[in-house]
Structure 1
Amino acid sequence: MFTLTLAAALAAPPDAPSHEAANPLYKSLLETGLAVGAKDKAKLPAPTLPDGLDAAKQKDAINSLIKGDYSFDDFARNSTVAPQFIKLPAVAGGAPNAPARGVDVWFMVYGDLKALDDDKFLDRVMNSGRGSGQAKALTAADLTKRNIPAPEGKKEGFGHLEFDFLEKVHIRATGRSVWSRTPESVVVAGEIDPRFAGDADFPNQWQSIVKEGGATKLGPAQPWAGAAFYLKVTKLAEPAGALFCEQHVVFVEPQGWFGGENLLRSKLPAALQINVRNMRKEWAKAGK
């Protein structure tokens, strides 16, 4: 949903550091959180599957997550239409007219974790999960112009994203993303960068999508406080080839987005299902 334009993941040596040590943005989102108001911070939840679990503990953690909704065998089916598990948890903080929201999604794909080393494949996977819209990677010159140090290497990047959310809101936002990799998993963490608030070329803003008389137009641009996420893809010990994906998102929802309607619960699950299925199709093509 809020996946940003990302740089490629680096192959990790056997003694690769933990994600918390290698990925400062991921560590910050877990320990400090996203600013969702003048004083409030919303932390992202710890991963369901941390590194270091054996096959039995991985399965126990997944079963605890999906208990009462799916069996492990059903959830772990090697199928494009296998289930995904979605939660919309309450998130404290934010202003009364712009509360914080949370979205958590878990699902399985089948493939080789090393496929994420391929820039082109990685691009297709992330775009399939993003849905419709446009993305532009910021250049070193773009960053220098704004007194932002250009990242070194491929594990950090900046991108500007423009997309429609639930056919109600048009969003433009600039984010920073950071990758890290261990022998067991890959993590990408991202956040809407507040340094681009009010930027002339790459602003963080939203506009209502207004449909009148068969025509569609956009309302006035409003500043957006933004969002943060991380995606963790973990190789399972069993079944063979299974990758456990979990994405955790916190974002600010201005009241003007939906006018008080609870569209997240009514429309978001279907949109996420499409994104998950598209991502599985990309993994399936990579295995052929």
Structure 2
Amino acid sequence: MIGMIVSVGLAAIMGGADEPAASHEENTVFASVQEEGLTVGELTIRLDRPRFTDDQSASQQREALRDLAGSDRAVEGLLRSSVTAPFLLSLNDETVDGVTIRSGELFFAIQVDLDTIDPDALFGQSDSEPVEAGNMRFEAQVLDDPDKERIGSTSARFVHSKGRLLDRIGVESTARVSASRSADSVVVASETDRRFDDHERWPNRWWTIDRQGTSESTGPPERYAGGIGYAKLTRLKDDPKTVLVELRFAFAEPTNWFNGAPILRSKFSLIAQDQIRRLRRELNR
């Protein structure tokens, strides 16, 4: 969804699977976010398939990078071994029935041996440290004992995320998360599980926050449609210590959050920058 999606991004796909699936074809959540997508009212948003695939040759990867970045010089900047190397973020909005579905894609590079990446360790374990960026706060908890009677038997992990947006909106949701690994890539995919809409402990809901000085009150909770997302980490074949991260996401933003204004959207670049640099620093350590 980097939690709630690089926080409303790297924070919406936090989690991982107990044991990554043997192949991406067996990753049911990865398939679902591309084929079923996110539906709100009459609108369905499906995530595009990855731009970088395991069967590409080194030259095909470079060609795809040039198409993405615009030039060889821009590619070199994107792949630069630096905490402050650039990233590429594009966003799209569609509105239906009082909700805007905000979707996007994010690309950046990290310097790491892909074989050492453990999806659980990279995207959060049983409890993750709270993430704060852009006057927002997110935290995620991997559910060790999800509601088996409600969801049945599954190999996916369930992650409950909570967020506080600009001190005006509170939101929480429970996502089904699954990871998979191939010889040259790792995928972590996430989707809000609507079976938890009215769950007693881990519901999908949002509420307003009204602050008056040092005190605050909250409005009545309303159901939240949630979001979908995946991250694909692909090893570059002509530079095996460089991994390209491709993040795609979509989530519902009710018009009543900010009266339809793109306030939250305007924070995405700041959140992405903060979380990507944090990730790179952690990998350097």
TM-score in terms of structure 2 length: 0.85
State the 1:284 CA deviation: 1.4
Determine the structure 2 residue equivalent to 1:148.
151
AA in 2 matched with 1:74: G
Alignment gaps of 5+ in structure 1: none
Alignment of 1:16-55 (within 5 A): 17=23, 19=24, 21-37=25-41, 39-55=42-58
Determine the structure 2 residue equivalent to 1:95.
96
Which stretch shifts more, 217-226 or 76-85? 217-226
Q: Does 1:85 align with 2:85?
A: no
AA in 1 matched with 2:83: T
AA in 1 matched with 2:142: A
What's the secondary structure of 1:45's corresponding residue?
coil
Q: Does 1:135 align with 2:135?
A: no
AA in 2 matched with 1:179: A
Aligned residues: 270
AA in 1 matched with 2:212: E
TM-score in terms of structure 1 length: 0.84
What's the secondary structure of 1:58's corresponding residue?
helix
Alignment of 1:172-183 (within 5 A): 172-183=172-183
Determine the structure 1 residue equivalent to 2:107.
106
Cα distance between partner residues in 1 of 2:58 and 2:19: 25
Determine the structure 2 residue equivalent to 1:272.
272
Structure with greater proportional strand content: 2
Cα distance between partner residues in 2 of 1:55 and 1:130: 36
Cα distance between partner residues in 2 of 1:33 and 1:224: 16
Determine the structure 2 residue equivalent to 1:123.
124
CA contact (8 A) 2:16 2:119 kept: no
State the 1:254 CA deviation: 0.1
State the 1:173 CA deviation: 0.5
Which stretch shifts more, 235-244 or 189-198? 235-244
Cα distance between partner residues in 1 of 2:64 and 2:140: 35
State the 1:123 CA deviation: 2.5
AA in 2 matched with 1:56: S
Deviations 1:62-89 (A, max 9, x none): 1111217971111111111111111102
Which stretch shifts more, 73-82 or 203-212? 203-212
CA contact (8 A) 1:129 1:276 kept: no
CA RMSD between the two structures: 2.5
Taking every aligned residue pair, what percent have the same amino acid on both sides?
29
Deviations 1:40-82 (A, max 9, x none): 3211011121111111111111111121797111111111111
What's the secondary structure of 1:178's corresponding residue?
strand
Cα distance between partner residues in 2 of 1:45 and 1:130: 27
Cα distance between partner residues in 2 of 1:138 and 1:128: 15
Determine the structure 2 residue equivalent to 1:202.
202
Cα distance between partner residues in 2 of 1:44 and 1:129: 27
Determine the structure 2 residue equivalent to 1:3.
13
CA contact (8 A) 1:8 1:116 kept: no
Cα distance between partner residues in 2 of 1:282 and 1:208: 34
Determine the structure 2 residue equivalent to 1:56.
59
Cα distance between partner residues in 2 of 1:173 and 1:202: 7
CA contact (8 A) 1:9 1:116 kept: no
Which stretch shifts more, 158-167 or 127-136? 127-136
What's the secondary structure of 1:88's corresponding residue?
strand
Q: Judging changes above 3 Å, is the alpha-carbon distance between structure 1 residues 261 and 78 closer, same or farther for their aligned structure 2 residues?
A: same
Cα distance between partner residues in 2 of 1:4 and 1:83: 22
